[in-house]
Chains A and B, each alone.
Chain A
Amino acid sequence: MKTIVVGSGMAGIIAGLRAYSHGSDVVMISQGRSATSLSSGVVDVFGYFRGEEIKSPLEGIKRLEEENEVHPYAILGAERIKESIDFFINISKKVGFPFRGSIDRNIHIATQFGTVKSTCLAYDRIYSGRVERWKDRRVDITGKSERNFRPAFVVESLRILLPKLGFNAGVFHDGEDCDIILKPLKQISKGESSCALSLLGDGSILEKKLLEYIKSLGIRHIKDRILKADIEKGEIKTLTGKRQYTGDNFIIASGDYIGGGLNSFGESIIHLDIYRIKDKPVRKIPFPVKGHPYSKNGVIVDENLNPFYREKRISNLRIAGSLLGGYDYCTEKSGLGVAIATGYSAGDME
């Protein structure tokens, strides 16, 4: 059983590891940068539904299923998603970068922008720095200033914002008599007991550890850009980049506009059928509460994550990650959650 995975962001990585766990011979092919590596590395599973905060991802998933939404979570169902999260948490422990959290509840973390966001799983130190723990405690945010990060700014911004969000916490910036100390993850040295604040780009730490783990398992990771696919009788025969790749199962997790899996013409390798908003796809402001319609653009799949080419199902191909249509990770805060859940399902063999 040979599985070819295109894309080595979170979705591709989890898909590869899942297929490997089933005994498949896995080859991963990728190029460029992943959104994962640019992110702050916390795993958003499902934080906001239609512009409202939700207390648990499960609550959001249930509502999607009830409302018959065309969302990857509605396709997969709560059980499968939970399995995938457990799978990820186990792997995070194996690679020495343990994540904590549960699909039953969301947490809040402070960001370098002096804002707060709802997320689900985070690296141990980040998880222990969550805002829920700040109640009635003295919190210090400190560390060396770096690009787009000033401890003093985060402190002042949070001092104003937290009460407005209904949180009760004292946020200081002098390190004296503090119960909780938060520093940028990269600045915490071995033996230090600080909690971590994750910054943009810290996702690359997680991604790097996962890719090293993949390499240690003997899974080949080839740098190449796939330009076309040969399809015969509803199945992919070969993928062509600088070389040709054949296999039994194919998984494409090439990302959305950031990774290049999607461009303004559609899905970039095969021109798979996509779900696309044509009329007013862009809102006039950059960060609308409910997002841009175009964010839901992506490949249409059936319950097996098989896509279609001119309405014909491609049975040996599965799609995972942000290439999928029907959801908006920016406003839902569901990016790495969808990547993990769909990657896991795509890598699952019957």
Chain B
Amino acid sequence: MQEVLLIQQVNPTGGLFVSFGGDDEAYKGKFQAGCRKAGIKINELTSEEALKIEPNLNSNIESAFEVDDGVVDPFMLTVANAYAARENKAEIETYSRVVKIAGRELSYLNDNKKKKIKADIIVNATGVWAGKTAKLVGREIKVKAYKGTILVYQGRAVERVVNHLHFPSQGDIILPHRNTTLVGTTNIPEKNLERFNIEKEEVDFLKEEGFAKVPLLRKRVLLRAYAGLRPVVGEISTRSFVLSDDGNFITISGGKLTTYRLMAEKVGNLVARKLGVRAKCRTAEENIIGDVKPTKLKKIFKKDYERIFRRYGNLSGKLSAYSSRNKRICLCEGVTSNEILFASKELFCKNLRDIRRRTRFGMGFCQGRRCTFEAALTLFSENIINSEEAQLQIINSLEERWKGIVPVIEDYMSEAKLLEATYSCTGNYNMVKNIIRR
């Protein structure tokens, strides 16, 4: 619980557990008892009170409890951690796959080039691939992968995390994320780590679960669906994590986002011990990125300040250094050219997809139709990429957007067709892309 509260500092929206007519009324007692036992503060609300704070809930509420809870942007959280690590002299190489470990020497593929590096300690924190990576040193780590799918609706239909108050099941959660509403999740064992699909049944199921809790979602635009694999060790319900110590090879496996810091602390302490370092881990006490002065930022970003600060948090200070000829790139999400350049230069970006995850361009209603090209032109105009690279990235970026559109395309037909009409019909990319790629 302590860990959850630490992470909440990112965006403490608060949460609700709500049951509706037809749900098992007996579960309410189990829930209250469980919270008491775990020391989790809950506050019972009447259905009127619940509807007052979350008016879009299905009005057929049986019982409701307010809890502490929060929402985090996993992209920015990861980037912020990487940024802080780099400030502390870490070197970070993305898109690099480790292919061989021989004693203290690690071989990896980066941009199709084989590179080698020597390490005193190797930490295997490869998530669902932890088992595959451990095999490189002949060790067996058992990690099971469970696929979770989430639907993304345009607009915030709720302001808090809304959980279905019933026996834990799939499709329990609805939460606000930036300018969208997420409906999730499924929990399906998955064998293929590299290629997995979102099935129609998952989408249909999640839609129904979403409508049951927040009927307004029927009127909102379903933008896309995405899925990821959870690395599970032990019992899936506990989501526990395991630290394995094999001399110079350490594996941290399992866990969930809310325990990431604790997991990292344990790894850090173990590594420190092995290296004879006596410093104490400070991540529970200190912000990973130093605080910024709001008044100074407001002067620089003016009307955009709120959006910028919500997006980049304490990294907004670094963005403020990019202050010339700012243009609006993404009309849906408001992203400006300075953000594109900032992300490209400082936030570990190798392509437009990376830049999208940092800035959110292409994540709105048009899913990149109007802004992807302009984002690429921004990089071109600053001589960061040439035209050929720009074309390849535009195609690649839109292919990634399409991957999330396909599972929900029946609800997104008009925009999907417009995307195709823009690039195939007007741009002739369907014919030209293979020539560019040659």
Instruction: Determine if A38 is an interface residue (Cβ-Cβ < 8 Å).
Output: yes
Query: How many of chain B's residues touch chain A, expressed as a range?
Result: 35 or more
Instruction: Determine if A260 is an interface residue (Cβ-Cβ < 8 Å).
Output: yes
Contacts of B399 in A (CB 8 A): 285-286
Contacts of A39 in B (CB 8 A): 421, 425-426
* Contact of A282 with B406 in the complex, beta carbons under 8 Å: yes
Which has the most chain A C-beta neighbours within 10 Å: B388, B405, B422?
A: B422
Q: List 22 A-B contacts (CB under 8 A).
A: A35-B418, A48-B431, A113-B423, A115-B429, A118-B428, A148-B374, A148-B377, A150-B380, A152-B381, A153-B377, A156-B387, A157-B391, A257-B413, A258-B414, A264-B413, A282-B409, A285-B399, A286-B420, A288-B430, A295-B420, A330-B420, A335-B425
CB distance from A45 to the nearest CB of B (A): 13
* Contact of B425 with A333 in the complex, beta carbons under 8 Å: yes
Partner of B433, one of A263, A287, A331: A287
Instruction: Determine if A256 is an interface residue (Cβ-Cβ < 8 Å).
Output: yes
Contacts of B413 in A (CB 8 A): 257, 262-264
Residues of B within 8 A of A (CB): 370, 373-374, 377, 380-381, 386-388, 390-391, 395, 398-399, 401-403, 405-406, 409-411, 413-414, 416-436, 438
* Contact of A329 with B438 in the complex, beta carbons under 8 Å: no
* Contact of B417 with A157 in the complex, beta carbons under 8 Å: no
Specify the main secondary structure of chain A where it touches its partner: loop
* Contact of B417 with A256 in the complex, beta carbons under 8 Å: yes
Residue of B nearest to A292 (CB): B420
* Contact of B421 with A113 in the complex, beta carbons under 8 Å: no
* Contact of B421 with A330 in the complex, beta carbons under 8 Å: yes
Instruction: Determine if A164 is an interface residue (Cβ-Cβ < 8 Å).
Output: yes
* Contact of A264 with B423 in the complex, beta carbons under 8 Å: no
CB distance from A5 to the nearest CB of B (A): 22
CB distance from B123 to the nearest CB of A (A): 35
Q: Which of A225-242 contact B (CB under 8 A)?
A: none
CB distance from A162 to the nearest CB of B (A): 10
Report the bound CA distance from A12 to B435 in whole Å.
37
Report the bound CA distance from A148 to B327 in whole Å.
12
Instruction: Determine if A200 is an interface residue (Cβ-Cβ < 8 Å).
Output: yes
Report the bound CA distance from A260 to B433 in whole Å.
29
* Contact of B425 with A257 in the complex, beta carbons under 8 Å: no
Q: Which of A242-257 contact B (CB under 8 A)?
A: 256-257
Additional A-B contact list (20), CB under 8 Å, known A40-B426, A282-B406: A115-B429, A116-B432, A117-B426, A153-B380, A156-B387, A157-B391, A160-B387, A160-B388, A165-B435, A257-B417, A263-B414, A286-B405, A286-B419, A286-B420, A287-B395, A289-B430, A291-B424, A291-B430, A292-B420, A295-B420
Contacts of A330 in B (CB 8 A): 420-421, 424-425, 430
9 interchain residue pairs of minimum CB distance: A117-B428, A286-B402, A156-B387, A287-B430, A264-B410, A257-B417, A113-B427, A330-B424, A157-B387
Residue of A nearest to B395 (CB): A287
Contacts of B391 in A (CB 8 A): 114, 157
Instruction: Determine if A44 is an interface residue (Cβ-Cβ < 8 Å).
Output: yes
Q: Which of A179-235 contact B (CB under 8 A)?
A: 200
Partner of A287, one of B380, B409, B410, B423: B423
Contacts of B414 in A (CB 8 A): 257-258, 260, 263
Report the bound CA distance from A12 to B301 in whole Å.
47
Residues of A within 8 A of B (CB): 35, 38-40, 44, 48, 51, 53, 111, 113-118, 147-148, 150, 152-153, 156-157, 160-161, 164-165, 200, 256-258, 260, 262-264, 282, 284-289, 291-292, 295, 329-331, 333, 335
Contacts of A284 in B (CB 8 A): 402-403, 406
Given contacts A39-B425, A286-B399, A288-B430, contact A264 B387 (CB under 8 A): no
Report the bound CA distance from A148 to B410 in whole Å.
28
Which has the most chain A C-beta neighbours within 10 Å: B395, B425, B435?
A: B425
CB distance from B375 to the nearest CB of A (A): 10
Residue of B nearest to A39 (CB): B426
* Contact of A286 with B428 in the complex, beta carbons under 8 Å: no
Report the bound CA distance from A117 to B425 in whole Å.
9
Residue of B nearest to A335 (CB): B425
Given contacts A113-B373, A115-B428, A257-B417, contact A286 B423 (CB under 8 A): yes
CB distance from A37 to the nearest CB of B (A): 12
* Contact of B387 with A113 in the complex, beta carbons under 8 Å: no
Report the bound CA distance from A153 to B383 in whole Å.
11
Partner of B428, one of A51, A150, A333: A333
Contacts of A44 in B (CB 8 A): 425
Report the bound CA distance from A192 to B433 in whole Å.
34
* Contact of B425 with A258 in the complex, beta carbons under 8 Å: no
Residue of B nearest to A114 (CB): B387
Contacts of A257 in B (CB 8 A): 413-414, 416-417
